[in-house]
Structure 1
Amino acid sequence: MITSDFCYLPLYRVPVIPMKSVIRAASLVAPLLWTALAHAQFDQPVDRRAVLDFLSNEQAKPVVLVNHTEADDIYRLLIMEIAAQEGKTDMAAETAMALARDRNMPRMAKRAMHLYLATSQSQAAAEAARLWSKLAPGDEEAIAATLALSASNGDTAGIVKALRKRIAEAGNKDRALYQAAAVVARMKDKQEALDVFTEVIDNNGDTLSVAHLLLADLAAQAGNPVVAWEAARKSLALGPDSDAAAERVLQYGVTINHDLAMSLGRKFIEAHPNIRRVRLLYISQLVDDRQFESALADLKRMRKTFPEDFDLLYLEAQVNYQAKRYKTARARLNEFLEVQGQRRQALPDAETNAQGQSTDARLLFAQIDEDEGKYRDAIAQLDKIDEVAALPQIRMKQAALYGKLGQLNKALALLAEIRTETRDDKVIVELATAQVLAAAGRTDRAITHLVQADKALPDSPAIKYDLAMLYERQGKIVEMETLLRRVIAIKPDSPDAYNALGYVFADLNINLDQAQMLLDKAVQLAPDNPFILDSMGWLQFRLGNDALAGQYLENAFELSPQADIAAHLAEVYWSTGDKKRARAMLKQGWQLDKENQTLKETLKRLGVRLK
């Protein structure tokens, strides 16, 4: 399944209820926050030795000469400093290393390490760190630097022993565990990092909640969700008051044992009603499960617990919007806007986020109007936004709405007025213009426009991709394939072009061997993308692998209930003789989007009528 022909880019800071995708993202960034978490949890200064405070040449303090410095040393120090200032970092690093060896100067070894790191010479930096440790055997910072660089270079010999010793001798075990995790997290092989940390904490801190919390994060990074879930559960069991452990249980548990993870999350919330983030994560999952009643009930309880937390009004509006309770969503948005208006009257916009939050509320208001077909009301809502940074996108959205009203000239005029200061701005406006033209049925004009844009911005994969989708709409498969292969050449690590080309081949029942290779790559790059899983499921159906097709499509529909996916899954059920299940799935798709073209074609082909 191709995600969409065109798509407006939302304001990046618009708050949304974090669903599964955000939960997965949180698991990926969690290790980067370990040092900060240690600071927050233990109310002690962050030990920067845990993560290496690498400095640039400009940030590094100049070397201070002392009375016993010899003339030759002064000369070499000057050579080093001048070389560093002139960007001759290799020469500066080599000079620093020579001084460190010749004069047993640990500070010079440290400087050499920073200089080598500035030029991405990790092996040489590790050698400098080892020299630093040798010259300053009791220096904790030198030891941490040596361990971290050894880990990042894949040299694990001695790391386990050293980290076990640091934890065993530490007065603050939790903090030492955070530092150890920060060291192994630098390893390129994430499974090896997980194995190393598991060995480090074996009978050496594994009775502490923090050890298993960190183990859960490392397991998630290594792509081992079962271990991540088990470690999160152990962390919460050892630390029943740990909000971080409760978060991990929800983050890592819902895909492994959904009911148990939610039960543990609910139990924690009942015992700790003031932990806001855990409650929001729990509500996020309820929304993702489409349990809107429960989510709204929890939000109302949260508003009683946090009566001054007006952001909850906006979140409640979002949940009501997703539940298609537009009247209630509008009521919450009006309350939220009133609060933000009072804040803007009390303080300048530069001192609060009230203006941005008002923008977010107006955008959601406009979206509700658009969903109800009230395009002029949506335009009027957008006109009330006065945040300068948001105006280009607002104008693009208004242009799309004018296009839906049939006022194509007005739409194009709005787009032409947008000032584009960067290349990315230009690309976005070109894509928006083509979208408006295509939505108005002017596909030929949209293609002509993107052809010209492609000539002006030949290195833009986004323009080539959208142009390819327009060609596909017209049945020009050769032109589409040529452009998508160019996109792959420009951006080989992006799954979109692989998915689009593979799906089109599968849908047309052609080049299925190529489709398999393309979609294998897409799945490799984005294994949890529901649209890619849908494409792979549809391909397997074309290949006659009904059981495998069903697995892919069921996973895709669970991740993102879409009418297209429902239609494909229903076709698989129908072909295996399970017509009752097929009709039920078609009805689900129809309830999601009655106008979906793929669903309509499937209903017609199978001869199914829905009421």
Structure 2
Amino acid sequence: MKPITPRVLCTALALACSVPALAVEDATVARQAASSARQPRKAPPLAPQPDEKDYSGLSGQVVYQALLAEVALQRGQGEFASDAYADLARRTRDPAIIARAVEVAGQARRVELVLALARLWIEVEPDSKRAQQVLVGVQIMTNQLDGLAPQLISMLQKDPAALPANLVALNRMFARSTDRQAVLALVSAVCAPFYGLAEAHYAVAIAASAAGQQARALTEARQALELRSDWEAAALLEAQILAQKSPAAAISALQGFLARQPKSPDAQLQLARLLVSEKRYSEARRHFDQLLLSYPNNPDVVFPVALLALQENDVALAEKQLKHLLTLELQNRSAPYYYLGQIAEDGKRPDEALAYYGQVGPGEQYLPAQLRSAGIVARSGKLDEARSLLQQAAASRPELRVQLVIAEAALLREAKQTEAALAILERELQRQPQQPELLYESALLSERLGRMEVVETRLRKLIELQPNSAQAYNALGYSYADRNIRLVEARQLIEKALQLAPDDGYILDSMGWVLYRQGDLEGALAYLQRALAQRHDAEIAAHLGEVLWTLGRKHEAQRIMLEAQKKDPSHEALNEAIRKFSP
């Protein structure tokens, strides 16, 4: 859908967004501000050249004051200049001088003065469209919404040709207002005389949705569609409102609209996105494929097609579309470079993957690109080079320093250098002793080294800092359960973690493990089965295998552990359980 550009309210919209937009509509008005005082209004004089001002016919005092104000303005003395022009405006009551005074006060960001001058302007020229726009704009910007409805209605009525577009744009005027209920009341009052137009209901729907009144928003959006059944914007708004509670209902609504209006690309694109959010990938793929035929060079179509292809493991199509995406006009190319790097990495093309990851700039993909690059380099046997890469990234992006330090420690941990990994975290903790992620990761490494005193200190500190951290409760409870100590306290900690995150696979595993330690085999089995269903993790499989073996279900235990070993053949805990129970 092409954007709609309003005419009558465009100036008021600008005013609602920034004070400097308080500029006179015609540049010649500003240049003639001083010259128009006390002149009879016959034929307008010739406009002076852009770099000169015409002061002919003015009294010496007015000319002097206008010149003084202009010189002050050029020297950056906005308050003095606006005061001088405001005084002139009040004494002369000349519309052109008032207009110039409004402009200067706006440049000085003196909103209250602009408001007073706008009211004077309306008093002097009641029918001035420009004066009405300035007054309405400043009232909106200062959240003085009471009594605005009659003025806005009048402004809308004066330009019937632009009425639909101006109704659609109406809510943009109130973008900075924090009182969304007051905005809804005002928009409803302004739109009431125009309810025969779909655009009036659309405007009220937008305001109602922003105010949290979704039922009314949905009713108004549907009324807009009844008046204009082919209006794509109204169909998209209806779907957006529905999706907040029921994506399935939004999908159904868009499908119904597309059945009536099949050539509605924005609606089809939104439908495809909703289908993706509901994991209905094959249906989404059909819509994206249709869009791709009509819009092969639209990044909003090409990129989702590539990601869906990745989701469905169609690597060739994904790579083709991502490379095509790089030939199109994009503001940010980091995402396609990142996914191309993933494809190359999974395809065992490390040099190509590193080249792609190296093209990823600041943004959402930067950190994972750095981590993956370091992983590739480390796996090639160049651990020091991988660490250097992360250290350089941390130096250039200090806001990511914690994550990058933790990643460096992880490289050392995977290289069986646990002491060195912990030392890196300890050094960073000296700089940031209350940083939650560092406390958590250092506790986990200390647990590997058997330093339970450090584990307890760090995790209890983390619980103090973040009393709703399910991971902290779980980590401490699991440490006790795994060592078969303080089992009552361990269970209490894990139960607290489960209250905070009831569907977390790792916490379910911890609960199963502490129940196993307490001798509740059936209870342990139920939790561990739920945990493995939530997350296919080697350690969870090892725990479940041990419980099944203890229950006498040996074949089932062996099957689960051996299947997990195929996916993670180097997992220590799993391999130890297999050696123990499957000789």
- TM-score, normalisation: structure 1: 0.64
The separation in 1 between residues aligned to 2:118 and 2:512, in whole angstroms, is 61
The 5-angstrom pairing of residues 381-392 of structure 1 reads 381-384=353-356, 387=359
Residues 401 and 446 of structure 1, relative CA distance in 2, 3 Å threshold: farther
Aligned to 2:534: 589
Aligned to 1:575: none
Question: CA deviation digits over 1:77-96, x for unaligned, max 9?
Answer: 23323333333322222222
1:335 and 2:307 matched: no
The separation in 1 between residues aligned to 2:106 and 2:459, in whole angstroms, is 44
Shift of 1:316: 1.8
Given that residues 434 and 447 in structure 1 are in contact (C-alpha distance below 8 angstroms), is that contact kept between their aligned partners in structure 2? no
Give the counterpart letter for 1:435 in structure 2: I
Residues 596 and 156 of structure 1, relative CA distance in 2, 3 Å threshold: farther
The separation in 2 between residues aligned to 1:77 and 1:542, in whole angstroms, is 73
Aligned to 1:37: 3
Shift of 1:197: 0.9
The separation in 1 between residues aligned to 2:227 and 2:542, in whole angstroms, is 53
Aligned to 1:52: 14
The separation in 1 between residues aligned to 2:404 and 2:112, in whole angstroms, is 50
Given that residues 409 and 425 in structure 2 are in contact (C-alpha distance below 8 angstroms), is that contact kept between their aligned partners in structure 1? yes
Question: CA deviation digits over 1:363-422, x for unaligned, max 9?
Answer: 21323566x5x6x635522315785957987556412443466643111222455697xx
Given that residues 72 and 80 in structure 2 are in contact (C-alpha distance below 8 angstroms), is that contact kept between their aligned partners in structure 1? yes
The separation in 2 between residues aligned to 1:570 and 1:46, in whole angstroms, is 67
The 5-angstrom pairing of residues 340-489 of structure 1 reads 353=329, 360-368=335-343, 377=349, 380-384=352-356, 387=359, 397-403=372-378, 407-416=382-391, 425-428=396-399, 430-431=401-402, 433-440=404-411, 441=413, 442-449=421-428, 451-452=430-431, 464=435, 466-467=437-438, 469-470=440-441
The separation in 2 between residues aligned to 1:107 and 1:484, in whole angstroms, is 67
- Structure 2 residue matching 1:38: 3-state secondary structure: coil
Question: CA deviation digits over 1:269-314, x for unaligned, max 9?
Answer: 2333333222121111111111112111222232344456576443
Residues 72 and 305 of structure 1, relative CA distance in 2, 3 Å threshold: same
Deviates more, 1:169-178 or 1:90-99: 169-178
1:212 and 2:201 matched: yes
Given that residues 525 and 547 in structure 2 are in contact (C-alpha distance below 8 angstroms), is that contact kept between their aligned partners in structure 1? no
Given that residues 400 and 411 in structure 1 are in contact (C-alpha distance below 8 angstroms), is that contact kept between their aligned partners in structure 2? yes
The separation in 2 between residues aligned to 1:570 and 1:263, in whole angstroms, is 41
Aligned to 1:237: 226
Residue among 456, 466, 472 paired with 1:501: 466
Q: Give the superposed CA RMSD.
A: 4.9
The 5-angstrom pairing of residues 3-22 of structure 1 reads none
Residues 79 and 56 of structure 1, relative CA distance in 2, 3 Å threshold: farther
The 5-angstrom pairing of residues 129-278 of structure 1 reads 129-172=118-161, 173-178=163-168, 180-202=170-192, 204-278=193-267
Give the counterpart letter for 2:10 in structure 1: R
The separation in 1 between residues aligned to 2:532 and 2:440, in whole angstroms, is 28
1:125 and 2:114 matched: yes
Given that residues 52 and 144 in structure 1 are in contact (C-alpha distance below 8 angstroms), is that contact kept between their aligned partners in structure 2? no
- Structure 1 residue matching 2:288: 3-state secondary structure: helix
Shift of 1:114: 4.5
The separation in 1 between residues aligned to 2:547 and 2:151, in whole angstroms, is 67
Aligned to 1:525: none
Aligned to 1:4: none
The 5-angstrom pairing of residues 73-88 of structure 1 reads 73-88=62-77
Residues 399 and 305 of structure 1, relative CA distance in 2, 3 Å threshold: same
Question: CA deviation digits over 1:166-200, x for unaligned, max 9?
Answer: 33444132133245434444433111101211122
The 5-angstrom pairing of residues 18-29 of structure 1 reads none
The separation in 1 between residues aligned to 2:90 and 2:287, in whole angstroms, is 64
The separation in 2 between residues aligned to 1:580 and 1:254, in whole angstroms, is 38
- Structure 2 residue matching 1:366: 3-state secondary structure: helix
The separation in 1 between residues aligned to 2:539 and 2:99, in whole angstroms, is 63
- Structure 2 residue matching 1:191: 3-state secondary structure: helix
State the structure with bigger RCO (CA 8 A, min sep 6), 1 or 2.
1
Residues 565 and 280 of structure 1, relative CA distance in 2, 3 Å threshold: farther
Give the counterpart letter for 2:424 in structure 1: R
Given that residues 23 and 103 in structure 2 are in contact (C-alpha distance below 8 angstroms), is that contact kept between their aligned partners in structure 1? no
The separation in 2 between residues aligned to 1:115 and 1:601, in whole angstroms, is 75
Given that residues 437 and 446 in structure 1 are in contact (C-alpha distance below 8 angstroms), is that contact kept between their aligned partners in structure 2? no
- Structure 2 residue matching 1:37: 3-state secondary structure: coil
Aligned to 2:92: 103
Larger Rg: 2
- Structure 1 residue matching 2:14: 3-state secondary structure: coil
The 5-angstrom pairing of residues 521-532 of structure 1 reads none
Given that residues 464 and 484 in structure 1 are in contact (C-alpha distance below 8 angstroms), is that contact kept between their aligned partners in structure 2? no
The separation in 2 between residues aligned to 1:175 and 1:131, in whole angstroms, is 30
The separation in 1 between residues aligned to 2:97 and 2:544, in whole angstroms, is 72
Residues 286 and 155 of structure 1, relative CA distance in 2, 3 Å threshold: same
Question: CA deviation digits over 1:216-270, x for unaligned, max 9?
Answer: 2222322333333333333223222112112212222112343332212112223
Shift of 1:159: 0.6
- Structure 1 residue matching 2:468: 3-state secondary structure: helix
Question: CA deviation digits over 1:441-495, x for unaligned, max 9?
Answer: 314303414645x69xxxxxxx95654554665667887898999xxxxxxxxxx
The separation in 1 between residues aligned to 2:152 and 2:31, in whole angstroms, is 31
- Structure 1 residue matching 2:3: 3-state secondary structure: helix
The separation in 2 between residues aligned to 1:197 and 1:405, in whole angstroms, is 63
How many pairs does the alignment contain?
482
Residues 254 and 580 of structure 1, relative CA distance in 2, 3 Å threshold: farther
Given that residues 185 and 193 in structure 1 are in contact (C-alpha distance below 8 angstroms), is that contact kept between their aligned partners in structure 2? no
The 5-angstrom pairing of residues 490-569 of structure 1 reads 501-504=466-469, 508=473, 542=496
The separation in 2 between residues aligned to 1:388 and 1:584, in whole angstroms, is 40
The separation in 2 between residues aligned to 1:234 and 1:581, in whole angstroms, is 51
Shift of 1:51: 0.7
Aligned to 1:91: 80
- Structure 1 residue matching 2:57: 3-state secondary structure: coil
Given that residues 435 and 446 in structure 1 are in contact (C-alpha distance below 8 angstroms), is that contact kept between their aligned partners in structure 2? yes
Give the counterpart letter for 1:336 in structure 2: Q
Residue identity over aligned pairs, in percent, reads 17
Question: CA deviation digits over 1:125-148, x for unaligned, max 9?
Answer: 322322233333222232122123
